[in-house]
């Protein structure tokens, strides 16, 4: 009887020790996990939610929360005000424009992709067909207005001033307009819907894709990655104080994994062109 009782007590002791070790191990694991809140929207939010739900984040020691916020200024302000740790939605040109307009100093920490902006038309099949006096719709926000004008120049339709600012340039910087194009500023989210009302529309890829357009197939002219499109490269952005945070740096590594590339290719039809460039050099070049 005594031996039986000793055995029970010994087993109980081992069980207690085992439970304690498990609790300690779990507590240690929790201590090694860093929570990161990413502010995002649209397709970017979908990508980061995929990453957050994957084993990749767990293996990297990150607990990623994706906080969806509508509107670029709102997302950047949420980052400035530390409601989120980092944001994923904007191009370098947009970030430069935001900092200038708001007197803030958010910084990029890693490149992710470039979504080519395209020139779309229901009336023309090629740039060569465009007639004099064509009505052109441009996004009514500083960064995308400038980006659209640069694309029109690349297409050979206009010429811009030598000191054209890729972050803040406007139609007043056009020095040559041989076809006498007429410009109309629009809410950029309406681009696909107003194609029937204009001759040409400059539409960012996220808006185009959500409107049923694929820039690789439907645009009559599109951006290519070169020195003039550096401002169009998308980045993760945060405050200066957080730019070297190891947890935030891991996000860039996660984004460029094969699993994420495959997901993006499947879900977005190749319209998010991966970019892996030195962020410090790019940031100096676009400012």
Two structure tokens written together for 40:
């995002």
Say if residue 111 is in the same domain as residue 235.
yes
17 within a domain of the structure (yes/no): no
CATH number, domain at 40? 3.40.190.10
For residue 153, the enclosing domain spans 118-223
Q: What is the percent of the chain with per-residue pLDDT over 70, rounded to a whole number?
A: 89
Contact 229, 151 (CB under 8 A): no
pLDDT of residue 28: 41
Residue 166 has pLDDT above 60, yes or no: yes
Alpha-carbon gap, residue 185 to 149, rounded angstroms: 12
Say if residue 217 is in the same domain as residue 122.
yes
pLDDT of residue 141: 85
182 within a domain of the structure (yes/no): yes
pLDDT of residue 44: 93
Domain count, the chain: 2
pLDDT of residue 223: 94
Q: Would you place residue 27 in the very low, low, confident or very high pLDDT band (cuts 50, 70, 90)?
A: very low
**Mean pLDDT (whole number) for 137-154:** 92
Average pLDDT of the chain is 90
Judged by DSSP in three states, 48 sits in: helix
Q: Would you place residue 5 in the very low, low, confident or very high pLDDT band (cuts 50, 70, 90)?
A: low
Q: Which of 190, 223, 256 is the last residue of a domain?
A: 223
**Mean pLDDT (whole number) for 195-215:** 93
**Mean pLDDT (whole number) for 77-90:** 96
pLDDT of residue 17: 56
Say if residue 105 is in the same domain as residue 143.
no
Who contacts 216 (Cβ-Cβ below 8 Å, separation ≥6)? 116, 222, 269, 270, 271
Alpha-carbon gap, residue 116 to 275, rounded angstroms: 12
pLDDT of residue 16: 61
Residue 26 has pLDDT above 60, yes or no: no
Q: Would you place residue 29 in the very low, low, confident or very high pLDDT band (cuts 50, 70, 90)?
A: very low
pLDDT of residue 142: 84
pLDDT of residue 251: 97
Q: Which of 223, 254, 273 is the last residue of a domain?
A: 223
CA 102, 103, 106, 108: dihedral to nearest 10 degrees?
A: 90
């Amino acid at each position: 009887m005594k031996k039986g009782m000793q055995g029970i007590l010994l087993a109980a002791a081992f069980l207690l020790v085992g439970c304690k070790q498990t609790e300690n191990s779990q507590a240690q694991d929790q201590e090694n996990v860093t929570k990161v809140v990413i502010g995002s929207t649209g397709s970017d939010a979908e990508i980061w939610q995929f990453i957050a739900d994957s084993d990749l984040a767990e293996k990297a020691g990150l607990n990623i929360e994706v906080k969806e916020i509508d509107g670029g200024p709102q997302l950047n302000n949420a980052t400035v005000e530390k409601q989120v740790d980092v944001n994923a939605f904007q191009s370098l040109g947009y970030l430069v424009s935001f900092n200038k307009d708001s007197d803030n100093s958010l910084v990029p920490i890693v490149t992710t992709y470039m979504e080519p902006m395209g020139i779309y038309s229901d009336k023309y099949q090629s740039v060569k067909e465009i007639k004099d006096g064509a009505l052109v719709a441009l996004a009514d926000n500083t960064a995308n207005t400038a980006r659209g004008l640069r694309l029109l120049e690349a297409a050979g339709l206009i010429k811009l001033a030598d000191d054209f600012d890729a972050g803040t340039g406007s139609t007043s910087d056009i020095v040559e307009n041989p076809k006498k194009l007429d410009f109309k500023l629009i809410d950029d989210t309406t681009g696909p819907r107003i194609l029937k009302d204009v001759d040409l529309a400059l539409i960012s890829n996220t808006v185009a894709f959500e409107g049923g357009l694929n820039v690789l197939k439907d645009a009559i002219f599109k951006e290519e990655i070169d020195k003039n499109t550096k401002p169009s490269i998308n980045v993760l952005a945060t405050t200066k104080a957080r730019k070297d945070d190891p947890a935030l740096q891991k996000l860039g590594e996660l984004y460029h994994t094969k699993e994420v590339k495959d997901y993006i290719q499947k879900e977005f039809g190749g319209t998010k062109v991966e970019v892996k460039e030195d962020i410090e050099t790019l940031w100096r070049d676009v400012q």
